[in-house]
Every structure is written in structure tokens, then in C-alpha cells.
Amino acid sequence: MHVLIVEDDETLGDGLSRYLRQAAHQVDLVTNGREADLALTHEWYDFLILDIGLPGLDGFEVLRRARLRDRYVPTIVLTARDAVEDKVRGLDLGADDYLVKPFSLPELEARIRTVLRRNQKTAETHIVYGKLKVDIAARRAWVDDNPLRLTSREWGVLECLVLRAGKMVSKDQIAAAISDLDAGLNPNVIEVYISRLRQKLAPSGVKIHSIRGFGYYLEKTADDEH
Ligand code: CA
């Protein structure tokens, strides 16, 4: 597992990296918020261990930015003793768990395992694409945090496009994906669902492009890249 540790306390940072390297993880250690933000922009991490009190950007800002990116990095925040507001704020910003300093290394490892187990159950089903969030298992979608009201067919079309976001999906593929309850679905009705979805997705900046004779693909607008 590729782990990013963000900790400005040298002793703690070194101790954490040594411990996780011994557990066969690939570890990067940075000591300020700007480096962390940069590392998260350019590298592909499987886990983030994030101190809150940091020079440069604080841990809250690093986490806020991380949660705007498409790739979800499971995160444990490290907070100082008695900083209850920090825990609440960290969890509000999307931390998966927090640890109060001082903590034992085996405790950290146990928490990492718990977070990973929890995420494995949901990771496959949660997709974030620009401002659009989709929970495949629950068959629900949101723009920002507003739930989208979709009919079952519209949902089927959206699911099909989201699972192949950025790639071309033919009308026949969509028809096959949504017609299991209704064999012989006329592919032309897909255009109706696409047009309704376009209206509902408008606030998300996510667009459904169509290429005549090929099919459709989902694309997010440039200003939704972070
Ligand atoms: Ca600190």
C-alpha cells in the first residue's frame, strides 16, 4: 500500500514511517501542508495519515482539497489531545477516522485496517465524477449534495454512462443494460432518457455528449477539475 504521512513533528513522522515501512508499505513523508497538497495532486496514494496542525496549509485545508479530487484516499487525521472541535471538523470534512496524540503504533495500524475494511465494502460502489456523486449499490446520485430524482430507466442510463465515464457507450449497450426487465426496448427511447438526464445533470457541469452513429459519453467541464 502506498501511504502518505503528513506530520511536522519529526520524531513522530519518522517513527510512523519506519513502522509502516516495516509492515511492507511504501511510505512518503512530508512535513508541511503545501507539500502534502502537491503530493496528493501528483501521486496515487492508497492511504493518508494527516496531522491537523501543520505549517503551510493546515490539515483541514489539505483534507478539504483532497476530497474535491476524484480519487478517494482513505484518511486518518491526527489531532492534539483535547482538541474536540478538530475531530468533529475533520470528520465533517470527510476523514474516515481520527486518532488523538499520543497513540500507540499498533493502535494506528488497527485503525488503518478498520478503515480499509469499511472502504472496501463501499469503494466499488461510490463514484465521484466532477460534482456528480453516484452510489451504484444504493442506486442514488447527487449533484453537490443535492439528491437527483431519477426514474428507474434514467438511473439505468446514468449508471451505464458513469461506469464508463469518459468512454464511448453505444445506444445498444445502454439498451442492453436497461432492458433486462423489458426485452425488445426500442433503442430510440434512449434519446428520451438522455435528454431528461441532460436537464437533471445540468447543475453538475457533467455533460452527456452524443456522437451520431457511435453513442454517448460522459464528460465533466474543465472547471470541475481540481
Ligand atoms: Ca503538528
pLDDT at 222 over 70: no
Residues with CB under 5 A from ligand 1 (ion): 8, 51, 53
Q: For 55-95, what is each residue's pLDDT tens digit?
A: 999 999 999 999 888 778 999 999 886 677 887 788 888 88
3-state class (DSSP) for residue 195: helix
User: Mean pLDDT score of the chain, rounded to an integer?
Assistant: 87
Least confident of 126-135, 137-146, 177-186: 177-186
- Cα 102 to middle of ligand 1, angstroms: 12
d(CA 76, CA 27): 15
Flag whether pLDDT at 223 surpasses 80: no
Q: Which of 51-65, 116-130, 132-146 has the lowest mean pLDDT?
A: 116-130
Mean pLDDT of 100-113: 92
DSSP assignment of 100-167? ESS--HHHHHHHHHHHHHHHHHHHTTEEEETTEEEETTTTEEEETTEEP---HHHHHHHHHHHHTTTS
Helix (H) or strand (E) holding 204: none
How does residue 124 score in pLDDT terms, banded at 50, 70 and 90?
low
Q: Calculate mean pLDDT across residues 85-111.
A: 88
What pLDDT does residue 24 have?
82
Q: Which pTM was predicted?
A: 0.57
pLDDT confidence band for 225 (50 / 70 / 90): very low
Q: How many A from CA of 13 to the centre of ligand 1?
A: 10
Please give the distance, rounded to the nearest whole angstrom, from the Cα atom of residue 188 to the centre of ligand 1.
Answer: 59
CB atoms within 10 A of CB 161: 27
